[in-house]
Amino acid sequence: MNAQVESSINLVEWKTLLLDSLKKLSLLRMFANPVMFVVWIGTLLCGAITLYNFMHALPFGMPLVTTLILFFTVWFANLAESVAEAKSRGQASSLRSAKQALRARRIDGEFEHWVEAAQLVKGDQVRVVQGDYIPADGDIVKGVATVNESAVTGESAAVLREAGTDHSSVIGGTKLLSGEIIFEVSNDPGQSFLDRMIGLVEGAERQKTPNETALTVLLSSLTAVFLLIVMTLPAMAEFMGSELSYVMLIALLVCLIPTTIGGLLPAIGIAGMNRALKANIVAKSGKAVEVAGDIDTLLLDKTGTITFGDRQATEFLTVNGVSEHELMEAATLSSLDDPTPEGKSILSLALGKDFRVADKPKGAEFLPFSPKTRVSGVRLADKSLKLKGASDAMKAWAADKNLAWPEEMDALVRKVAKQGGTPLVVGSNERMLGVVALMDVVKPGVAERFARLRALGVRTVMVTGDNPITAGVIAAQAGVDDFIAEAKPEDKLELIRREQAKGRLVAMVGDGTNDAPALAQADVGLAMNSGTQAAKEAGNMVDLDSDPSKLLSVVEVGKQLLITRGALTTFSLANDVAKYFVIIPAIFMGAIPAIGMLDIMQLNSPETAVIAALVFNALIIPTLIPLALKGIKVSVVSADTLLRNNMLIYGVGGLVLPFIAIKALDMLIGTIY
């Protein structure tokens, strides 16, 4: 999807943005941003004063200039939000192109009927054949197929979807390239994945994140305080025998309140969502992106996240008294109906050793892998069993069946585990036979990314079903802070609850139905697009690329959002301090001569000083729009160092820049005023 979106904005789009920013000037729309609402009311009042002075032949130059400057201040703030929103429109367009008028073969009992896709409801079963577009979201209940999901993900490579696996989910609007499937519709009309994504990126109402809401309350409080202060000044001036210009008071109020961050705050929030969308991550709300920046604990599956995930069988290791042929026979029989990459690799390894089982045995009952039992196998027609599974699960099964556990079996398990592999114990209802070694590889660069997260204060925990020795080897290679071995789905949920009970925010990734409870419990739950509908419903983010390691990027996107907002808030408040030294002396010097000592910049006149301050106040907003949209780069430093750098760059910089800029503007304005 992101490949189809242009980052630049052409001339036609700029015209649209300018008009859109003007439409946002309605009082109802402006009221959502209290700081800019006050500026807009001040603009309207200055405009009224200008009109009154003009009609009564009074001087109207200063009120007119002030009105125009304040108008552009508000307009630029709206433009920042419009530019941020424009970044989402291309994504919405590409998604809408995938949502076309489709028809579906709905299964009604033993018959099929063609219906419009819009008539499908949750629970309907639909058959899709090669070349058809998938008419709705759902989970495959029968069949296997390759699907082109480029309309949603932007990736042209086909993906495999298969019933009974964690990759059984299909999305409406994608195309079936090969195979035939029957899937069950998972959403009612208007509630599909594409519908929600389109609504998210172009919705008229954007839900504010918690931190953004808190900052808005703070800025509103500051605005209210300064408004009360300014409202008391005319009475004070009258008491001292002086008179204050209402235009000057409005200018004072605008320069006192935090207009810079008030104008950029919506754009920063939208840009955070856009950065997530650029990474092909769909966040169901801005809150999810923001919370990702505050994450304390990152819960990661080993397979597919830390390692490549395609564990391959590399060796058959027998115990004493068992031939390799007998071990291979049991391992292949238990893998004939195993759809996992591990099961298929066992068949490939046996085939490479010239061992082949031609057909599935008649009358055989296959026992699928379960996260709870952690074993799989087959029960043959003669009631004999061939099983394979995790060493501890197979050891418990052997004890339950009163089968001897060979002494050398533990040695074989340790041997494979110490090499960083996964030992798969194979046995029958007669005796234990040996071990199949499964090897996986840690993804390059993962250790460096974990070190980067550790420096940012994020603790990483690897969760795996492997035995403790294997888990320890992989954990050491990957550089995670902690690991949990021989974990079941409920262990993830328990770990998340324990971490949250300690006041920590937790993020995790998952794709299966059994991951849904933990995804729902986690503060940030990243579901894979290829996963089940249950997982995608439970999580608050969906990765369109189905890359489990994307969770690391999610944390960095969230931190960038928080750092950008914090830096620009610091800059805005520092700006205001400098403007105090401009506006206050300009307004009160005539009434209170002693206040002239604050005029440290020696500006030309009160009028030029006020105009210079207002011009700077207006221009700084569009100047900072690119920074608000792009975000500030996340540095791998401690929180203390980050705060110090923030204060030095954006605090001191925000304090010094206005003095220089306002002085230069005052000199320029003085030559023409």
Annotated binding residues for ATP, written as ranges, equal 338, 342, 388
503 beta partners: none
User: Could you give the strand order of the β-sheet that contains 541-543, starting from the edge strand earlier in sequence?
Assistant: 281-283, 541-543, 524-528, 506-510, 297-301, 459-463, 482-484
Task: Give the strand pairing for 375-379 and 138-148.
Answer: unpaired
Hunting for tokens 């819960």 — which residue is that?
299
Amino acid at position 399, single letter: A
Closest Cα to residue 84, out of 270, 283, 278? 270
The Cα–Cα gap between 180 and 169 comes to 14
CA 123-194-182 angle, 5° bins = 35
Amino acid at position 647, single letter: M
CA 558 to chain centre: 7
Closest Cα to residue 395, out of 408, 409, 414? 409
Question: Which residues sit in the known binding site?
Answer: 338, 342, 388, 511, 515
Give the phi and the psi of residue 263 in degrees, each rounded to 5: -75, -30
CB 479 within 8 A of CB 451: yes
- Environment class of residue 200 by beta-carbon count within 10 Å: exposed (0-12), middle (13-18) or buried (19+)? buried
CB < 8 Å & 24+ apart, contacts of 587-594: 587/244, 587/245, 587/248, 587/249, 587/252, 590/242, 591/237, 591/240, 591/241, 591/242, 591/244, 592/240
CB 65 within 8 A of CB 31: no
Q: DSSP of 226-282, one letter per residue?
A: HHHHHHHHHHHHHHTT----HHHHHHHHHHHS-HHHHHHHHHHHHHHHHHHHHTTEE
Q: DSSP of 485-505, one letter per residue?
A: -S--HHHHHHHHHHHHHTT--
Question: Which residues sit in the known binding site for Mg(2+)?
Answer: 511, 515
Q: Within 10 A of 482 (CB to CB), how many other CB atoms are there?
A: 12
The Cα–Cα gap between 298 and 671 comes to 60
- What does each C-alpha distance from 69 to 63, 156, 223, 258, 611 come to in angstroms? 10, 49, 19, 16, 8
The Cα–Cα gap between 252 and 610 comes to 8
Amino acid at position 281, single letter: I
The Cα–Cα gap between 63 and 59 comes to 8
CB 116 within 8 A of CB 135: no
Residue 301 is among the residues annotated as catalytic for this protein: yes
Identified catalytic residue from 137, 301, 543, 545: 301
DSSP state of 540: S
Q: Within 10 A of 100 (CB to CB), how many other CB atoms are there?
A: 12
Hunting for tokens 């030992």 — which residue is that?
423
What are the structure tokens assigned to 633, written together?
Answer: 């780069």
543 beta partners: 281, 528
Residues with active-site annotation: 301
